[in-house]
Amino acid sequence: MIEQFIAEATECDFKVAVEKKRPKSWLKSVSAFSNGIGGTLLFGVDDNKNIIGLPDVKSDSEAISRLIKERITPLPQFVLRPYQQDGKDLLALEVPSGRSTPYYYKADGVMEAYVRVGNESVIAPDYIVNELILKGTNRSFDTLVTDAVKKDYSFTLLEATYLERTGLHFEPEDYVSFGLADKRGHLTNAGKLMTDQHTVYNSRMFCTRWNGLEKGSIFDDALDDKEYEGNLIYLLNSGCEFIRNNSKVRFSKSARYRVDKPDYAERAVTEAVVNALIHRDYIVMGSEIHIDMFDDRVEIVSPGGMFEGAPIQECDINRIRSVRRNPVIADLFHRMKYMERRGSGLRKIVSETEKLPGYTEAFKPEFFSTATDFCVILKNVNFHLGQGDLPSDQDGDQDGDHDRYDETTKQILDFCRTARSKQEICAHFKYRNLTYFTRKYLKPLLNSKQLRMTIPDKPQSRNQKYVAVQRDQQG
């Protein structure tokens, strides 16, 4: 029976006895189950699942009902069922997911809402309480009307993108019908997230291409890093472009044609970034989406765990029910054909990746969520090939790329016949990332003594410049 409870319950806690003098020890689980996806408390069983039994089931049942009514507000739904196993009496307290969130534990002058984190019931942080309040009043962050007035902002990118992707003009009345503004002209949070101006501080995306398989110092181990803020369409385009610019399309040739072998499926990347933007929690102050690229994978992490339901890693994505944290934003992205209404985004990420040449089960995308984050991991299907097994159309691969690299270094040396600062060299060759440019070009030229510093004793001097070494001076 114990195994059946564990298998059937969304969450399950075990209690040896009904603690009447210290009821908070189990009432916080009642609060957490009601605020989350529901769960079952099994009384008369210890943490090792040994059957201990209860001495007086009737008295314990009355105490459980009374204490829930006295100390949990609002009153949650619950069902108490008596069971017997091995001749011992047990009580199962079944608590479904509540609709009138948040559910508080109230006693001794305190009111605390609890949520589940792993196998524990913990006090909900403020931003989760705020989200529970919205959920309990059947509202969402993106539908809330703000003090911002529509006429004070521009929507050029939104209107241009809508026209490009739908063939329709974004009419003035659409702002109200799509939920971006109210009839008085005040923007909702969804409307603020679509302005050309950066009006929602948390609307940000940090992107980093790391050197290797793990994170390191942003100054020493990042090959490329960018920070974006503003309009959600701008963030979508920027995030996808960052991944595209830092990945490769390799190819293999046959007698009649060539087969392109991209590291990642473009549609899967778009779906993953869209998922992060529309399902993330914008209430968390100081939060942003992170895109971290490594040699073997891309990790896209967004604030906010699963809005409803168990952690994603415990779910079958083919059967998961789509519940949207930001329904107005989701609807708008659907209208612009970035996503489908039926919540098939995660399945699409998998199916598009499966189409890539060289795909095996080892490269299947992974999804992981906690109470505070949601992570999509896309795997580089070419990583097992090594750096030189297949030619590529981008930097760092095979003969054509080596030729381009050699040509660039020659141009750098020619440009540095006159001493130049790192910023001058970078700008001249249209590179925006100093760290990446230094690692790829300047350090190799310095190490080979084809380039020298004008102030070698102070490498980090703000007045540092670089000058080409004449051949007769090279040691």
Query: For residues 340 and 462, what is the distance between their CA atoms, to the nearest angstrom?
Result: 52
For residues 232-246, give the mean pLDDT. Answer: 96
pLDDT at 44 over 60: yes
Highest mean pLDDT: which range of 159-168, 303-312, 427-436: 159-168
Predicted confidence at residue 91, as pLDDT, reads 95
What is the phi/psi pair of residue 8, to 5°? Answer: -90, -30
pLDDT at 411 over 80: yes
Predicted confidence at residue 69, as pLDDT, reads 96
Extract long-range pairs of 160-167: CB within 8 Å, 24+ residues apart: 161/233, 161/336, 162/335, 162/336, 165/336, 165/337, 165/338, 166/335, 166/336, 166/337
Work out the number of other CB atoms within 10 angstroms of the CB of residue 170.
Answer: 19
pLDDT at 266 over 80: yes
What is the phi/psi pair of residue 88, to 5°? Answer: -115, 145
Predicted confidence at residue 184, as pLDDT, reads 96
Query: For residues 64 and 146, what is the distance between their CA atoms, to the nearest angstrom?
Result: 43
Lowest-confidence region among 125-139, 336-350, 398-412: 398-412
Q: Give CA torsion, residues 116, 118, 120, 126, to 10 deg.
A: -40
Q: Is 275 exposed, middle or buried (0-12, 13-18, 19+ CB in 10 A)?
A: buried
For residues 432-456, give the mean pLDDT. Answer: 84
pLDDT in tens, 176-203: 999 999 999 999 999 999 999 999 999 9
The residue with greater pLDDT, 223 or 167, is: 167
pLDDT at 395 over 50: no
For residues 72-99, give the mean pLDDT. Answer: 93
The residue with greater pLDDT, 255 or 283, is: 283
Question: For the chain, what percent of residues have pLDDT higher than 70?
Answer: 90
Q: Sorting pLDDT into bands at 50, 70 and 90, what band is 399?
A: very low
Predicted confidence at residue 220, as pLDDT, reads 67
Q: Are 207 and 228 in contact (CB under 8 A)?
A: yes
Lowest-confidence region among 135-149, 246-260, 328-342: 246-260
Q: Sorting pLDDT into bands at 50, 70 and 90, what band is 388?
A: very low
Query: For residues 469 and 162, what is the distance between their CA atoms, to the nearest angstrom?
Result: 54
Beta bridge partners of 120: 117
What per-residue string of b and e applies to 36-57 under the rule 16 or more CB within 10 Å gives b?
A: bbbbbbbbbbeeeeebebbeeb
Query: For residues 436 and 466, what is the distance between their CA atoms, to the nearest angstrom?
Result: 17
Predicted confidence at residue 473, as pLDDT, reads 55
For residues 334-363, give the mean pLDDT. Answer: 88
Query: For residues 337 and 25, what is the distance between their CA atoms, to the nearest angstrom?
Result: 49
Lowest-confidence region among 97-106, 215-224, 226-235, 410-419: 215-224
For residues 414-421, give the mean pLDDT. Answer: 92
Specify the 3-state DSSP secondary structure of 119. Answer: coil
Q: In what order do the strands lie in the sheet with 297-303?
A: 222-229, 204-210, 289-293, 297-303, 373-379, 366-369
Predicted confidence at residue 398, as pLDDT, reads 41
Pick left, alpha or beta for residue 48 (phi over 0 → left; psi -120 to 50 → alpha; otherwise beta): alpha
pLDDT at 431 over 90: no
Predicted confidence at residue 216, as pLDDT, reads 78
Query: For residues 254 and 267, what is the distance between their CA atoms, to the nearest angstrom?
Result: 26
- Crossing angle between the packed helical segments 156-166 and 232-245, to the nearest 10 degrees: 70
- How far, CA to CA in Å, does 126 sit from each of 114, 115, 284? 11, 12, 9
pLDDT at 381 over 50: yes
Specify the 3-state DSSP secondary structure of 314. Answer: helix
Residues making up the chain, counted from first to last: 475
Residue type, 259: V
For residues 406-423, give the mean pLDDT. Answer: 90
Predicted confidence at residue 321, as pLDDT, reads 72
pLDDT in tens, 5-38: 665 556 888 999 999 999 999 999 999 999 998 9
- How far, CA to CA in Å, does 135 sit from each of 70, 191, 279? 24, 20, 14
Angle at CA 148, nearest 5°, toward 143 and 154?
A: 100
Beta bridge partners of 145: 188
Q: Which residues contact 49 (CB under 8 A, 6 or more apart)?
A: 2, 14
Sign, CA torsion 459/463/468/474: negative
Lowest-confidence region among 70-79, 102-111, 382-391, 427-436: 382-391
Instruction: Kindly report the three-state secondary structure assignment for every residue of 200-257.
Output: CCCCEEEEEEECCCCCCCCCCCEEEEEEEECCHHHHHHHHHHHHHHCCCEEEEECCCC
For residues 136-163, give the mean pLDDT. Answer: 95
Q: Are 435 and 225 in contact (CB under 8 A)?
A: yes
For residues 241-253, give the mean pLDDT. Answer: 87
pLDDT at 218 over 70: no
Predicted confidence at residue 276, as pLDDT, reads 96
Lowest-confidence region among 40-54, 91-105, 122-136, 432-446: 432-446
Q: What is the pTM of this model?
A: 0.72
